[in-house]
Structure formats: C-alpha cells, structure tokens
Structure 1
C-alpha cells in the first residue's frame, strides 16, 4: 500500500516541474527545514498549523529575514517530519508540504487536498513590461516564482482593482498608482497587494516589497506567477476551513485593524476643497441649520496655501485664509465635530519648508547624496524619506503640532507615491524597492507617533495607498479618484469586498464620485444610500459640483438626509462590526459566498453583499432602475427592513425599487441595536438605543448575540477594563419564547452598572398570552397594527430573563 501511495503521489505531482533543479541534501535545524538544491537553498517553517512560510535563497545571495508585512512569531513545534529515499514531508493537522527529490517538486496540501505546487519554482527571465507600467517598471530581467494551480478555482486578491470578482486570467502590475477618473475597469490602482486568494480557501502571500507583477493564469495554462525586480523570494501559504477562518489566519499573520474612534463611523463634510475658514464655518453651519448629522470636516490643501500649485509642502496654517485656525477647530470640537487636514509627502522647492528640509537632510536623494528633485503636477519637488529616522521624526513633528492645535485625524494623500522616479534613493533602498510600502510606512509613523505622544487617543488615518498588513496601523483606505458616473459607482462593491478579504476592511469610496463635473442627483443619492452600508460614510468630490448634501437640490438633500439619519441609526450595530473586525479580521462588508461557500454562482457575484452578519444589501447601480433582482442566500429567511415582507433563502425575486432607500433586508432571528435621532456621535448614549429582535418562529437552536460598549475614544486594550458587553440568548421552548440578557462588566469599568433597556420583539402575530420577568421589573406594550411587543426593563449585574408565551 505504501508503494502504491508513493506511485500515485509521484504521478499526481510529477508534471510541469523544473527538470534542471536537483535535490542535494536537507537538514532540520530548530524546526526549520533546510533543503539544498543545485541552484540554492529552501527554508520552510510553520507559523502555526495553518500557515507555512517558504523562502528560496538563490546561489550567491544571503537570506533576508526582514518582512514589512508579517508580525506573527513562528510557533512551529507542532509538526511532523517524515523522510524516505524519494521524498520529504512536513505536516500539521491542517497543512501538508511534500517535497519529491527527483524530479524535484514542492507541493502544498490541505487535509489531503492538493492546493498548489511549484512548477518551475524560481528562475530569472527577460522582463516583458505591461503597457500600463512601461514607463515605471524598467528592467531587463525579473525574478519569478511559478506555480501549478487547479483548473477550476477562482482567484481573488492583488489589491484594489475593477476586474470582476474572479481575477483569474489577468497579469497584474504591482506598482501602486492612481487611476484618475476610472469607471467600469481599472487594472492598476492605489493598492497593489501581493496576495492571491483561492476559492479553495487558501491564500498565497508573497512577502516582498519591491515592484513587480502577479500573473493569475493569464496564459490559460493553470499557472500562477509572482514576478519581482529584486528582494525576498519568500511566500506564505495560508489555509482556512471557512472564509472567516482564512481571513482570521491572514490577519493573525499580518496584524489586525485597531478599533477606530466611534466618530469615524459618522458623516463627513468634505470636498476639494474649503478655501477659507469662513467657507468651512459656513458649511458646518449649513449642516446645523438643516439638522443633518455631521461628525467631521476634512480640509483639503487650501489650509496651507491659497494656490493649488506651488504651495505643497508648506505644512503650516495659511493665516490669510484661516486666520483663527485653532479657534475654528475648538469651536467645531465643542459642536462635536472633528477637524482633519490633508497632508502630502512632497516638499516643493517653492514651499516654505524647502530650505529646512534640505538642511535637515530629510529628503530622498540622488546617486551622490543631494536631494532628488523632479517635476509633477503640483510643481518641482522632493519627497520626504520616511524610512530615514530623521525624516520620519521631522514629519511626525508636523503631525504632533497639528494634534496640539486640536485636529483629530490625519489625511495622507498621494502616498502611492503619486510620482517617485526610479533614480531616487531612500534610507531603506531604491525608489522601486520601497515604492509599494511608502504609504504603509507613512501610516506606521503616524500610528506609532500617536501611540507615543497621544496614547489615550485612537488615531484616524485616512490614506490612499498601502501594502500587506497596513490595517494594523489603523489605515482607513479609499478607492481613489473614481469618476462621478454610474460606471464609477458600479465597481465600488467589488473593490471593498476584495480589500476586506485582504485585511483592509475599511475600504470605501468618495461617496457621490470624485472626478468630473457631473450633476446627477439620482446618482448622488443612490451612492449615498449605498454608503449607509459602507465602513466609512464620506461624500467627497471636486468642488465644481457640491459633494455636501446641504448644497444639493431640495429633493436630493431630503433623500440624502434620510440616508445619513439611517447611517446614525445603525451607529452601534456598525461599531460592533468594527469591534469584531479588530478581534478577528472579519470584514464589515462580506461577499455572499461567505454565506453559501459551495454555491459556484456566488463566487463571482458582487452586485449584493452582507453588511455584517445580519443585513443583506443590494445597491442600485443603474440609472432609472425600477426593479432589482435579489438573490436571498440559503439557510435563513430574510425580511424587508422597511416593509416587513419575508423571503425564503435560496430564492430569487424582482424587488421594486424605492427612491428613499436601496433594497435592504435583515436576517430573521437577528437582534439589531438601533439608535434614536442624534446630531452626531458625541450625542450617542445607550439610553437612546433600542434592541430590535426579528423573531423567527422556526427557531430551533439557542441563538446568542453580544454587543460591545466603551467610551468610543480610548485605544482598545482589554486590560484597561473600561468596557462591557450586553449578551442576549434566545431560544424557544414549546410555546414559550425565552430571552436571557446578561450585562458582562469588566473589572475596572467606571460607568453606570444599571441601565434601562428597551427590547422590541417584531413579528409577533398576536398579543402574548403571558409575560414573565426574572431578576427585574418591566412592562410590555403590544402594537396590534405592526405586530410587535415593546419591553422596557432594568439590567444590572444579574442575568435578566423574559419569558413570552406565544
């Protein structure tokens, strides 16, 4: 049997390998398997039972242990090692790596299922540049790692693109670059992440910063390639038993997003841009006059200069336009409104800080050590070397001064970088070696600066470009300069779903679209209605058409106001999605195939998605759309959030659209906290909140729900103890519906331990025959017309139980 297995194994993996590569020897040293071949050395180690790292070091090179992405420490004690005259094998309960000695071959298995194998493995070849990056990736040859993959699997990843959910068949440039005014297809954008995600629930992360390419079987040869100009030949294979498990494992490897401040989930006032303090004040006053909630105002580049060109790099308040900047910030703060100024990493030679930047040697340099200067749209410039300690500290001092003026967040723009010629040099390498990690390290310096100098404040870091693991620095990414058209809107769901799977769960868009002078109220409203169910709600655009609802037509303003009020209604639900993401990496926006992993049709579907676990969302993506085809995932019954109509899972319906909202459905059996009307998140208190339970008469198993509460400001640290959970358990025993509520209070919690809770149980067809309260006193009212019960009762540290006889 062993011989038969070996014969079958060799025949399975024996195709398409590198016949020139010869196995020479191996050794197991400190739980790292070292395999010597004719052209170099392999090093294989486990991070845990679901993550294996493979590094190849070609002859003549030295091993580089430095990763910009990985933060997990290897725990590789729990694996088995086997060897024979023909093969080597290392395995855990989840992963198996088999190395055939002749012909040499490395293959990766998950519980006996072949995932992928090295085809030619590592080699060099002549560089064939993609048209989009011919002027950016200029090399004679590149280094390649090549794999065999399954013929039928769908492939995701590679960062932010608009290509369709299944990205197989594309060769993708790994060179962060803006795509101004993109619409229905964008092959190259601001985030190009070297990660491939398979529908077989595994990932391959190429742990190397320099620029290059990902080829997702563009030649239809069942082949995956990673191609780079230089650097590490290191990759991690990550597996998961579910989609949630896979993302948990990846974010365990590269870090998780810290919980953002609660105000970041509110509405932003933003445009390109507010030219003066007076204009900013008038805009905020307009929100107040119209009773439209708003939490923050973003100041574009006019805060440091009157002109669009020639002033970038001033990085100090332009007093001619913002004479009492600090008072303005303070006045806004007293209204519960945060101020966020834009910054860029470019210091123009015409800016006020140019001479200081030169003298302090904080800029990237040319080949002989002088500041490297070049022209781009905004003027003749140098770029801050954020990899150099003195450059990093100089830039942080700018942010520290702004924070001391009262600003509450950072907007980092043009961080691809927008333009960075290959001839520039930084402290950590050439421009092309650090290009894709510039935004990543920029976010890092801001995040670490806040940790050191403002440790009680959660930072808000809005950035346009990043890398694998940027989420751990609190980066809030957005999808760049999308066109203000229906075509621009159409790809936004795909971008956010893809990026959420790659760890960056706060990917969002300039609501309403950014580029172009297109005044289309229907498009604007539909985009904002979609934004209600986005991680960040931030209308933003070029100023030739207003992005703020207060400056739109009365009809558009009214509908936008409804959307914004709905956004605030969901504030605590959304805050709990953010908390879950900080603990598990699970994205706020989730593809429908998370719900039905075996449904092939859902693997490429992006016109609808799950918002958290409980909401099913279908944006309106076409002008004048009267009906929307909606597929309801299996395993649940779904309720129209606005009208109460129920739909069985596994069915498809044509839903009539409404001007006032997009098709929104809630999973039957869910408990959702909904907040009463507030002017912004500063006004949020738990006594303004109701828990809505959408009773499912088919309930069979006990259901559990937990909601997290804290001050919304202090960095999340389970050891500080200033938080609590509200837990609900729901089950049905015969004709009795039992709901148990427990308030789990942390040891050092400083708030009120007793609170009044309002619970609304919906879908109760008749007034309950009997009600029992345990460990509390309460009352119940029944709405005969709308068929729901309202319970009001007090919860403290004792478990409370409500029994409802149906």
Structure 2
C-alpha cells in the first residue's frame, strides 16, 4: 500500500514537473510546447487587455518575421496572470482569458464572465517550397458562436454579406479586394496575418461538373450537350464533361472557328449526384449568362464585359439517384470571353458555422484575437494593431468627377468650367490613364500634343477652387528611362518581359511592374512621381492596377509568376500585400517632401493596414448593371467592417453594355429618349443617390459620359435629382467631416451595417441592402429598374423619421416605402443630431458660421461637431476643435457644451439654428454661440 501511494505521488510530481517544463512565461505572454498536435511551439502574447496574438509553428521555435500589416514595436503595459495545471495553461488579462491545452495546443478565448467567444479546433501544417523559398501551408479552424453574424474579408462582388456558413477566396484582382480580417456580432475579431492566397471557410477548390454523372440533352450518359451557334454559320454540337473556359489557357478549348463577336453557346443535359446535399455552385462569367436547374432560373441574366469576368455563387439542393436538368445559356459580348460553372458539396465547416482560415504559404501561423464591448471597439482594436486612419483632406469629402478618360487638357478644363458655370458643386477632377505618349507608359510624362501645358492645366483647376487627382500605375514600358532605372537594380518583375507580353495599347507594348516589396524601389517610385508630377501641383494619386494586375485573365499559377519573385520572397508567399507596399511608397514619400500637406491616395486594391497610409479603395471596373449596383452595398459594408473606413465605387459602373452607347447616339440625333436611354439615366441616378451617402462620392466610367449635365439635360427630372443630391452632400459636410474626424480620433466607421448600431435586433444581421452613414442616417438604395417603392426594415428600439417629411415611423418592423425616381428612401433615428449647412460649390467655399442643428426626439442623443484646418496635419498635434451637443429626451433639453480645443482660422462666434423634430411637431430656435455652454429647454 505504501509503495502504491509513493507511486501515485511520484506520478503527480512528475506530471507537474512536465507541465512546468511545457510552459514558459515571457515578458508579454507565454510559450507552450504541446505534447501532441500539429504545432510543436505556440506563443501567446498580450498586446493589450483586449488583444491577444497567437503564433504557432511545427518547429521547436517561432520564426521571427517582420509583419507587413501590423505596426512594429507594439508594447503592452497590460497586466496579465498565468496559471496552470497538468492539462492547461491559462493567461488572463482584465478583459480576456486565454486557455491552452498542454496536450493538443488548442486555445479558447473567454470574456470576463467566462463566456467562450472563440475556440480553436483543427490546426494543420504541411511543408511547401516555391523556388528557393520554403514555408508551410496551414489551416486553423475555430468553433463559431450560434446565431452570430460574421463580416469583413474586404470587398467582393458575389453579393454576399454575412459570412456565417459561407466561404470566400482571398486574393487580389480587379473588383476583388481581400483583407484577412473578420468581425463578429458577438464583439470579437480575428486578424489573420498572412500575405499569400488564403481562404476563409471551406478551403477546397470548386470542381468541374464531371464530379457528377452527366447526361446530355438526349439522355445519353457521359457529358452535357454544348451547342455553338454563330450568325451565318452552321451550329457546332459537342459533348463536354466540363464548363471550364475561365482564363487565357482554358479558352483555347473552344472550337477553333467559334466567333466570340456573334456567337452563343447553350450547355444542357442532366446531372446525377452521388449524395443528397445542398451543393454550392460558382458561375464565372463575361458576356450575358443565365443558368437553370430543374427548370428553375437560378441565375437570371448577368453581364460583365469580355475582358473582366465576375464570379457569382449560388446553392441548389440535389438528391442522390435523381437527375436534375441543367442549362446554361451564354452569349459572349465581343472579343475573347470567359465562362465557367463549377460546384462543391457542402462543407462541414460551413454547416457547423465554424470559422476557418487557410493560407497557401507562410513561415508560421500568426493571428490576433481582438475583443471589445461592441463592434466599434473591435475595429478600434484592429487599428491599434494596423494603424490609425488618417483624416482625408476636407475636399475629398466633396464630389469628384471622373471619366475614362479625359483625352486632352481642354476636355478636362471644360468639365470643371461647366460645373462652375452651372453652379453644380464639385471639389475634384480626375485625370485617368493614358495622358502620356502612347509608347511611354511609366514615363510620367504628358503627351504634349494633347497636354501642352500640364502645369498650366493644374493651375487652372486650382484657380477654379477645385483639386486634381492623377492616375499613376506601377507599370513601365521597357523603352522608358524609368523602367531601366528599376531593371538596372533588379527591381522589376521580369516574367512579362521575358515572355514578350504585349498589352492592349496601339500595336501592343512590352512592360511590367516594379517590385513594391523592395524599400529602395519604393523610394525610387516616389522620386519619379515627385520629379515629374508632384512638382506640377498634383493634389492626389489614383493608384490603378495595384493588385498588381500585370495581365488580365491569366490562370493563378501564371499570375504568381508574373508578380515575382519579390524582394522578400516568392510571390506565392507575398501575393496579397502589393497595394499596401505601394501605398507606403507614396504616403511616406509625400510626407517627407511636404510633411504638412495631407496625402490622399485612391487604390484599386488593398490589404490590412491600408488606412494608415491615408488611402481609400474603390471597387474596380464593375459593370453598369443593376445587379452590380446592388452588389456594391454589401461590398462597401464588408470593406468598411474590415477596418478600412474610406471606400468608393464608380458611380454608374465602369463597363457599359453596347446598347447604352447606341442609345446615347440616338438621343443626340433625334432628341428623343429611347427605352435604353431611359434605363441608363435611371440606373445612373439611382447609383448617384446611393453614392451621395458613401464615404467618398465619385462618378466615373466609360462612355457614355458621366458628367451630370451629360447624363440628362437641365430641367429633366434626372438632372434635377442629381443636382439635389450633390448639393445635399455639401449641406451635410459638417456632419460628414465630423465622421471623418471620428475615424481618426475615435476609430469610427462611417459606412455601417445596421447591426453595428442595433446588434440587439438580430433581424439586422442579414440586411445587406440598407446601411447607416454615420449613426444619424439610414440609407435604403433603390436597385431595381422602374421601382418606385422598396421594403425597408426599421430596427427595433428606436423611432425613425423620414428625412424629407419628418414623418415618424415606429421601429421593429418592415414597411413598403415610396421611392419616387427623384428620391432615395432616407431615414433618421430618434436621438440623432444632424448638423446641416448651406449649399456650397466646393468644400471650403463658406465657413460654417450658420448651421442648422436638427434634433430628432424619441431617445437621448449626442453628436460632436469636429473641425480642423482641413488640409494639413496639424490635427495630429492637437490643432482641432469639438463642440458636443447632448439631447435629453425626457427633459426635452439640448445642451451645447463648451467648445474644446482650437486651430488657426477657427470661428469664435457662430449661429446655430436649432430644429427639434418630434412625432407631430417641429420647434425652432436660433442660438448665438461663442464657445461657452448653452442649455436650451423646449
């Protein structure tokens, strides 16, 4: 008995010693060597009481690799406590407890109340080598929380919103911006610090349709029937086991004589699955496309231009042993065009509502868990890690006019002059690509035949109190001096040059992109821009094709060859962060050249941390279609909830169907509206109404021209409404610029899902076609042709007011709301305080010395009016002011608090025209304000 007791004691002591050996306490966390599991070493670091870093490696030590997106040198002063037993180690801060199994290495995160927020399950590593670069492919799966919604991941075009039970492929491409950050309605987020192609959710690739048993249209087993028709030619009928024509390589499988300009294809037959399941389908399309399953039109007609395909996903239930008819109709729209249809069985990850990140290549697994009391705090944690959002110059909050493209300086100046002559507000004009000589892309030189005096052009824009943004690509023709400056140093991606890839300009020219991962190459890129463009007075930079997009429509493997190797390693490992590196080049370059002039960049791609470089993103070369208009709403919302606050799109869409170009010509000749022209005008107006309430307000696209006066003649209802919303944007400038100030000072998000402010109402979680612009405006875009009403959900717990009429609506219900052509449904929650100024022709035309302050009754409310000098970085040194407004609903009392702070040019005295709006009444009072507190009782 004594021997047995001694043996038990020996085992307990030994187990305890082994546990102690397995855990090492660090200055900022712990290091653990689990007994089993994929990771031999796991390090948990405290960033602050709400942010935890997790690193895992199959090696005995954690590789030290500099992060590209997380700020260096983050130092934590947060206290934490470490405890352990034979099975677990536990690290606790004031707000989070992290528990790790000493056996498996699995980690769980709980809040102060002990509620589990996130828990690891499966973790895998497998070695990968690309060229001379070695690393690991890895995946981390977490159990999610039932009932939560998941947002973020950047900006994608499949009209997805809540990513719970969904998946997304994370890579950069034109119209697709991948940011590896998610946020839950349960108030936590995950920043996945990896730069390779990654996948959220299901890591599997979609498979060809031959995963099913296929039958042609006559019922014969083996393939689908593909019928190719060309105008004036006999039909070609083939039996095909896959619809896979998605890139420049696979389109070679089309019949040799198939004419994309006048052709059409129909694939039809039946599919027989091996299992009963809800299958996921991925449609890749350019041209006009429709899909039917079992006679049901599951994909109504969608269109994209031939050179820029899109992906649309849908699900459909299939039954084992039962054939389902399938039909895909496709009509290319000129030029080489692309189409594909693939499928996947449902994933356990998606079914279970789990969260998963998979990355193709990295030195280690590295992620950050971010907690908060609400979703705004989670985004604040993300910016603690990746950098604060700069305040954009105030003029960037105004209206921008752009076109693809202004071909001469006279064209550009005439547009600015026309806006001023018509008294239509404008702050920025954009000079798109190809202002250089045809054979000199990357020279940053102007074609003197078309732009004989670029400096004079810029000066003329400035004399009209407008600003000018110019397109700069990281692309260089081999014949330019700038290319040679890079190539001589080994700072160019040379695969495109070696393969003699010619672009689409003129006879076609050979060129490539510079390596933005090289710090010295970044400095050279900025120097070339500064010496040739900045000296002319250019105000802002449009960084196009920053994915980088060296060649359209290549397969993924070849894209990676074209984009590397980088200075840091293979393009496989560093595939997604190019836009971040490129933005770093210009931001730091300009701040060094002029430390107090606000930098402003617009880029077609992005990555985590982009906001710290005063950079916004637009949604790429989207189509001028109603379905694309609708898809921009969740795309913009998810991008904003990825932590990057400034986003915009091509109002009206970039790529245009031929019918709209034809209708514009008919209108010019006959003076009458065709049906296509009516739709074109309505599409642009509805898009413009939506765009007026986005963080940045910018019209752009191909022909027909997008200037307000080119969209409709003066006096036309469309013209009047376009001008109304442009003017309203400027009337709301005190509100909008205050939101921009909050983005910096309080880590605020301007474009907000309803769930961000009304998380207690779970009906808001899946509403993807309404949003909040700040907390004071609820925007409900109209995205169907000829729609004159739409359903609007009013979140519970709040009364709501129609912005135009002041009519009150109770929350917690869905209503059909009138939406006449001239108006977008727009609502204000009870408790909102909206500062509304005068109409201005440009953002700095008038000082805000006379502002209407609208107060909406029904709840207590607060608003902070933020002001600074608007164009420099003195706000970083404390040169700004705030005036806090506070409304107490029960007392019907508004307090205007004492002004805080000051800056050069600040108004000492001003007039506030207070308007209190209630259910059945409106009261007004004029207040003279000198910076001291005033209380107003109604």
Does the 8 Å contact 1:512/1:524 carry over to 2?
Answer: yes
Aligned to 1:215: 201
Aligned to 1:739: 894
Moved more, 745-754 or 240-249: 745-754
Aligned to 2:682: 522
Does the 8 Å contact 1:705/1:728 carry over to 2?
Answer: yes
Larger Rg: 2
Q: Distance in 1 between matches of 2:395 and 2:787?
A: 33
Alpha-carbon offset, residue 266 of structure 1: 0.8
Does the 8 Å contact 2:881/2:902 carry over to 1?
Answer: no
Q: Distance in 2 between matches of 1:754 and 1:531?
A: 34
Aligned to 1:33: 30
Q: Distance in 1 between matches of 2:58 and 2:415?
A: 60
Q: Distance in 1 between matches of 2:706 and 2:440?
A: 24
Scaled by the length of structure 1, what TM-score is found?
A: 0.85
Post-superposition Cα deviations, 1:412-454, rounded to whole Å, max 9, x if no partner, equal: 0000000354262222222233331110011111111122111
**Alpha carbon RMSD of aligned pairs, Å?**
2.8
Say yes or no: does 1:406 pair with 2:537. yes
Alpha-carbon offset, residue 536 of structure 1: 0.7
Say yes or no: does 1:663 pair with 2:818. no
Aligned to 1:173: 169
* Match for residue 391 of structure 2 among 247, 259, 280: 259
Say yes or no: does 1:680 pair with 2:842. yes
Aligned to 1:729: 886
Q: SS of the residue aligned with 2:406?
A: coil
Does the 8 Å contact 1:169/1:216 carry over to 2?
Answer: no
Aligned to 2:231: none
Residues 720/590 of structure 1: CA separation in 2 closer, same or farther (3 Å cut): closer
Alignment of 1:426-445 (within 5 A): 426-445=566-585
Alpha-carbon offset, residue 92 of structure 1: 1.7
Q: Distance in 2 between matches of 1:228 and 1:75?
A: 31
Residues 607/540 of structure 1: CA separation in 2 closer, same or farther (3 Å cut): same
Residues 692/148 of structure 1: CA separation in 2 closer, same or farther (3 Å cut): closer
Aligned to 1:353: 482
Alignment of 1:470-549 (within 5 A): 470-517=610-657, 518=660, 520-542=680-702, 544-549=703-708
Aligned to 2:444: 315
Scaled by the length of structure 2, what TM-score is found?
A: 0.74
Q: SS of the residue aligned with 2:816?
A: strand
Aligned to 2:731: 569
Q: Which structure 1 residue ranges, 5 or more long, are not aligned? A: 1-21, 128-137, 180-188, 767-786
Q: Distance in 1 between matches of 2:686 and 2:159?
A: 22
Does the 8 Å contact 1:274/1:302 carry over to 2?
Answer: no
Aligned to 1:147: 142
Does the 8 Å contact 2:390/2:614 carry over to 1?
Answer: yes
Post-superposition Cα deviations, 1:186-214, rounded to whole Å, max 9, x if no partner, equal: xxx1x111223333222121112222322
Q: Distance in 1 between matches of 2:199 and 2:749?
A: 26
Q: SS of the residue aligned with 1:392?
A: helix
Post-superposition Cα deviations, 1:627-686, rounded to whole Å, max 9, x if no partner, equal: 211111122211111112110111222111122210011123322111212111120311
Q: Distance in 1 between matches of 2:579 and 2:55?
A: 25
Q: SS of the residue aligned with 1:396?
A: helix
Aligned to 1:83: 84
Alignment of 1:259-408 (within 5 A): 259-305=391-437, 307=438, 310-351=439-480, 353-359=482-488, 361-364=490-493, 374-377=501-504, 379-401=509-531, 402-408=533-539
Does the 8 Å contact 1:210/1:231 carry over to 2?
Answer: no
Alpha-carbon offset, residue 765 of structure 1: 6.3
Aligned to 1:447: 587
Does the 8 Å contact 1:362/1:388 carry over to 2?
Answer: yes
Aligned to 1:789: 924
Does the 8 Å contact 1:207/1:232 carry over to 2?
Answer: no
Alpha-carbon offset, residue 323 of structure 1: 0.7
Say yes or no: does 1:422 pair with 2:580. no
Does the 8 Å contact 2:899/2:932 carry over to 1?
Answer: no
Q: Distance in 2 between matches of 1:215 and 1:508?
A: 27
Q: SS of the residue aligned with 1:597?
A: coil
Alpha-carbon offset, residue 688 of structure 1: 4.7
* Match for residue 865 of structure 2 among 697, 700, 707: 707
Residues 241/803 of structure 1: CA separation in 2 closer, same or farther (3 Å cut): closer
Aligned to 1:250: 382
Does the 8 Å contact 1:593/1:599 carry over to 2?
Answer: yes
Q: SS of the residue aligned with 1:515?
A: coil
Residues 92/720 of structure 1: CA separation in 2 closer, same or farther (3 Å cut): closer
Q: Distance in 2 between matches of 1:139 and 1:427?
A: 15
Moved more, 471-480 or 376-385: 376-385
Q: Distance in 2 between matches of 1:598 and 1:799?
A: 34
Residues 77/373 of structure 1: CA separation in 2 closer, same or farther (3 Å cut): farther
Alpha-carbon offset, residue 244 of structure 1: 1.6
Aligned to 1:122: 124
* Match for residue 722 of structure 2 among 540, 554, 560: 560
Post-superposition Cα deviations, 1:270-311, rounded to whole Å, max 9, x if no partner, equal: 011000011111222221222211111100113223x4xx44
Q: Distance in 1 between matches of 2:763 and 2:918?
A: 32
Q: SS of the residue aligned with 2:698?
A: coil
Q: SS of the residue aligned with 1:124?
A: strand
Aligned to 1:779: none
Aligned to 1:778: none
Residues 322/671 of structure 1: CA separation in 2 closer, same or farther (3 Å cut): same
Alignment of 1:64-143 (within 5 A): 64-71=64-71, 73-75=74-76, 77-111=78-112, 112-124=114-126, 142-143=137-138
